[in-house]
Amino acid sequence: MNQFCLTIPVMPVRDIDASCEWYADILELRLRHKHEEERGEEPTNYAVHERDGVQIHLILDEPQPFADSWTAAGSGYLYLQVRDIEKLCQRVQAKDVRLTQPLAQSSWGANGFEFRDPDGNLIRIEQNRS
């Protein structure tokens, strides 16, 4: 019996609301949950997005005493495998997102491209040849 069931990338960002809008617009993710402090004393610090059964979470890059090196905006890396790489690459470029690596075949045989979110987190999208 398999023990592992799911892996979820958590991307550190500076502004949850702006990042939620960006990820929804660029990757067509649907917001499932946004953590709101019950008393309104803290900013929203976490959000959950989903598309096609894949979840991507956003966490706020917070100041001390909450800060941690892994939650520093710009330190995240998101790797996605998709079925139609050309269509998604065209969509990303149509949204005026600058590619840091154009769509090309990698040495391991997958087609892929890369870009960064507004906080500097790297996003790599690939489609396997098989």
The string of pLDDT tens digits covering residues 51-106 is: 999 999 999 997 766 667 788 899 999 999 999 999 999 999 999 999 999 999 99
Which one, of 121, 122, 119, 113, lies nearest residue 18 by Cα? 119
Residue 40's φ and ψ, nearest 5 degrees, are 75, 15
Residue-wise DSSP of 15-53? -HHHHHHHHHHHH-PEEEEEE--TTS-S---EEEEEETT
94 lies in some domain: yes
Tally of domains in the chain: 1
115: domain CATH number? 3.10.180.10
115 lies in some domain: yes
Which one, of 80, 37, 73, 77, lies nearest residue 55 by Cα? 80
5 lies in some domain: no
pTM given for the model: 0.89
4 lies in some domain: no
Q: What is the span of the domain harbouring residue 86? A: 10-63+72-127
